[in-house]
Amino acid sequence: MITENVALITGISAVKLDDVQDAVWRSIMRGDGLQAFSAELQQEHGLTLEEADEIARYQVCMSKAVMENTRQLELGITEATWQYSGLMCDGMPSHKAFHGRRFQLVTGAHLDGKWVWPGSETGCRCTSSAIIPGFDDEAAGI
């Protein structure tokens, strides 16, 4: 997934993309924050502050979304509730409209003609809240 997402970055040479992909992996494995990862991209790979911040934010959010989704599925959790962040989701009114609605973790939510997960699109900082079978159903009166 990280390889596919890094390949979507435009305006960077193919050689530099390989270096950025390696930096993404290292950052995620170390658990770096966005600021540390952005600084590494600037210092080690010569990116501008704006480029580094955008890449760091998107790559970390997307990686987090994939890992969280996988972890929940491994625990037997199959549904979640979309939580609209309100941050950086300008131009994504479907994210706001979907706030609080259930979606299947396997497929994601069908928004704007495609299947997406919270935090999986550039500029999206939405999250999800896992629906625990037998616990959340009772609380919701289901």
In this predicted model, what pLDDT tens digit does every residue of 18-39 receive, in sequence order?
Answer: 777 777 778 877 877 788 888 9
Q: In this model, does residue 45 exceed pLDDT 60?
A: yes
Q: What is the dihedral of CA 8, 14, 17, 19, to 10 degrees?
A: 170
Distance CA 126, CA 26 (A): 24
The CA-based dihedral angle spanning residues 52, 54, 58, 60, taken in that order and rounded to the nearest 10 degrees: 40
**Mean pLDDT calculated for residue range 77-94:** 84
Are the CB atoms for 86 and 80 separated by under 8 Å?
no
Question: What pTM, to 2 d.p., does this model score?
Answer: 0.71
Interval 80-104 mean pLDDT? 87
The enclosing H or E element of 109 equals strand 109-111
Distance CA 85, CA 45 (A): 30
Neighbours of 87 (CB within 10 A): 10
Mean pLDDT of 93-109: 94
Q: Does residue 91 have a pLDDT over 80?
A: no
Alpha helix locations (H) across the chain?
Answer: 2-7, 14-30, 34-45, 49-74, 93-97, 136-139
CA 16 centroid distance within chain: 22
